[in-house]
Amino acid sequence: MKRQEWRNKDRKVASVVVFVMIVSGVTFSAPIPAYAAPITYADPAGNCGGNSPCHTTIAAALNDTDPNGTVYVYAATYTENVSIGSGVNVTLLGATNLNGSLTIGSGTTFNSTSGIFNLSGNWINSGTFNHNNGTVRLNGSSGTQTISGNTTFYDLTIAIGSGVTADFGTSSLGIVHNLARTTGTGTMNPGTGTITFTGAPGSITGANAKTFYNLVIDSGANITNDAGNLTIRRDFTNNGTFTQSSTISTTFDNTSTTHTLAGSGSTTFGSVSIAGGTTVNAGSHNITVCGSSFSVSNGGAFNGGTATVTIDGTTALNNAGAYNFNSVTINAGRSLSNPNNRNFSVSGNWTNNGTFSSGTGTVTFNGTSQTLTGSTTFNNLTTNSGTTLDTGTSLITVNGTLTNNGALRHTTPAQNVTTGGGTFSFLDAVSRTTAQLTQTGGSNMGNTTLVTTAHIAPTNYACGTTTLGGAPVRRLFDLTPTNTTGVTATLRLYFYDGAGGAGDEANGNTLSNIAIFHCNGTYWSRWSGAYTTGTDPVTGYRYVELPDVTEFSPFAIGGGPGAPTAVTLSDFTARTEEDYTRLTIVFSAAILIMLAIVLARRA
């Protein structure tokens, strides 16, 4: 029979005996069985500060307390396993060392010290743990020290010895203030659990490495990591602030596993490393990298989702995995280098306020509507089909191969065009001359801008409600002077003739049969005049030039009319319609009759 049941039985028996003996007038000297105390004490020295009942072990004090009693534990070292039963409260009165395991049962409460509680055995919690702003220090010296159950610690220090494994299993832990990984060369096995940081401020410290399965920074938390590298086996979720020192690294490592970055918080990693066979999906979670390396090993992948990776250090791309960025920002005074000549893609925006060293790799822009800010030098640059990369007023330099399968749009900063001021050159996105303008008469045109879209799809040549038909050159020019009244100018427009290869803009047009088209706001019209055509000796671009230009709005280049067959006309009318001049020819009745006679004779 259980101890408590015996105690209840003893109490009933004692009460009956006392009642009978009092009624019968019998006296006795035998002691009444002792009751369990509501409060007991534990102190190996047996002092308990003068309080009683005092026991030299925690287990003895637990055995002697009421089911809903309280045990006060004096600061000391206890060598035993402690299991707290249902309903009992245990309170540490000072720094305590427990050389054994601790089990906090369901319905029980363990009130820790505000100092340090050292535990060398297992931590099993199914009840309530009150941290009292103290530290729990795991200092197992052999084998495996397990941590199980859901517990919120204030400070948790992992100080296991050499060869010891701290196994977190499936536990869910909260850290209010600090997680430290200090002495010892043991192993931190995160299992499949989750550690959530809630402190503001809070920290991850200690020179030894820390390994997490799921790492969570709670909303409002502000966590710093200034010592000890981190490894994350699964997901990272940050709704607060996480700041890692530039000398620390975070490694995502779990073969054949997809890791997710999530949350709306601010994340700064030192260096980032993604192991082979591991995929990290950034989703919409922006990250900043301030360390020396962003590394994806062979067989690994980083997918940028809709997030931005901001470089805020002297950072290099390393190893041969897949780098699939969304947006990339290089902060002022910082640099991104590519010493191992890695290829990578950008599906969002590119912002370079610092320095980019391209190596000999290829950067591919593979989004839809993308922007590039900050002039940048690439080795090889590719834009995918369907991509429009708008460089604004920034310029691109390509030292290797430019493969423009999409479209490159560039805005040349305003130039003050004046009569007699000479020829003004305008550049395209890749720093090559795309147009030249020489004002020959009238009041000064003033500040003049040019937006050039290279390799634009022919279906995008809009003018009013119409588009330019046929097969125009795939380059569009939007020239906008401040003053257009009464001016005349000579206009030269350039394009890339790739002979039908990648990035070709000629679109089958040749210099012998080419003309400038002008959008008047309603439809496109082909301009006639004394054309000059040729090839730029430096860039290899083809050009077409027309003098006496008096109107300025979008321009395009297309095929001119072929040489007409000589005919005799009795009447001629012409009207401009869309991309070509429609001719309506009315032959004389005499010519028609003569043709009919000739045909009849041949028949």
- For the chain, what's the residue count? 603
Residue pLDDT, tens place only, 338-364: 999 999 999 999 999 999 999 999 999
Q: Buried (b) or exposed (e) across 539-562, using 16+ Cβ within 10 A?
A: bebbbbbbeebeebebbbbbbbee
Report the phi/psi class of residue 58: left, alpha or beta, with left for phi > 0 and alpha for psi in -120 to 50: alpha
- Tell me what the mean pLDDT of segment 122-148 comes to: 97
- Tell me what the mean pLDDT of segment 2-14 comes to: 38
Q: Buried (b) or exposed (e) across 271-294, using 16+ Cβ within 10 A?
A: bbbbbebbbbbbbebbbbbbbbbb
How far is it, in rounded angstroms, from Cα 559 to Cα 524? 13
Q: Identify the pLDDT of residue 217.
A: 98
Residue 471 is encoded by which pair of tokens?
Answer: 């097969």
Q: Identify the pLDDT of residue 256.
A: 85
Residue 286 is encoded by which pair of tokens?
Answer: 């922006």
Stretch (H or E) spanning 595: helix 589-602
Q: Identify the pLDDT of residue 330.
A: 98
* Distance between start and end Cα atoms, the chain: 129
Percentage of residues in the chain with pLDDT exceeding 90? 81
Q: Does 262 score more than 70 pLDDT?
A: yes
How far is it, in rounded angstroms, from Cα 135 to Cα 115? 6
Q: Does 407 score more than 80 pLDDT?
A: yes
- Assign 137 a pLDDT band (cuts: 50, 70, 90): very high
How far is it, in rounded angstroms, from Cα 396 to Cα 497? 19
Q: What share of the chain is helix, strand, coil (3-state, %, to 5)?
A: 10, 45, 45
Q: Please give the full DSSP string across 348-403, using - where no structure is assigned.
A: S-EEESSEEE-TT-EEEE-SSEEEEES-EEESEEEE-TT-EEE-TT--EEESS-EE
- Assign 501 a pLDDT band (cuts: 50, 70, 90): confident
How far is it, in rounded angstroms, from Cα 591 to Cα 514? 33
Cβ neighbors of 229 (< 8 A, separation 6 or more) are: 209, 210, 248, 249, 250, 251
Q: Give counts: helices (H), strands (E), the chain.
A: 3, 63
Q: Identify the pLDDT of residue 532.
A: 97
Question: 222-225 and 202-205: which strand pairing?
Answer: parallel
Q: Identify the pLDDT of residue 560.
A: 66
Residue pair 13/76 in contact (Cβ under 8 Å)? The answer is no
Q: How far, CA to CA in Å, does 434 sit from each of 49, 76, 84, 297?
A: 92, 84, 82, 42
Local structure of residue 563 (DSSP, 8 states): P
Give the up-direction half-sphere exposure of residue 549: CA atoms within 13 A in the CB hemisphere. 27
Residue pair 277/298 in contact (Cβ under 8 Å)? The answer is no
Q: Does 285 score more than 60 pLDDT?
A: yes
More confident residue, 32 or 142: 142
Cβ neighbors of 29 (< 8 A, separation 6 or more) are: none
Q: Identify the pLDDT of residue 36.
A: 58
Q: Does 582 score more than 60 pLDDT?
A: no
- Assign 470 a pLDDT band (cuts: 50, 70, 90): confident
Residue pair 124/150 in contact (Cβ under 8 Å)? The answer is no
Predicted TM-score (pTM) of the model is 0.84
Stretch (H or E) spanning 179: strand 172-181
Q: What are phi and psi of 589, to 5 degrees?
A: -65, -30
Q: Identify the pLDDT of residue 154.
A: 98
Q: Identify the pLDDT of residue 170.
A: 96
- Tell me what the mean pLDDT of segment 557-576 comes to: 47
Residue pLDDT, tens place only, 171-214: 999 999 999 998 777 899 999 999 999 999 999 999 999 999 99
Residue 250 is encoded by which pair of tokens?
Answer: 């975070």
Q: What are phi and psi of 521, to 5 degrees?
A: 100, -20
Residue pair 140/167 in contact (Cβ under 8 Å)? The answer is no
Residue pLDDT, tens place only, 25-38: 443 333 333 445 79
Average of per-residue pLDDT values in the chain: 88
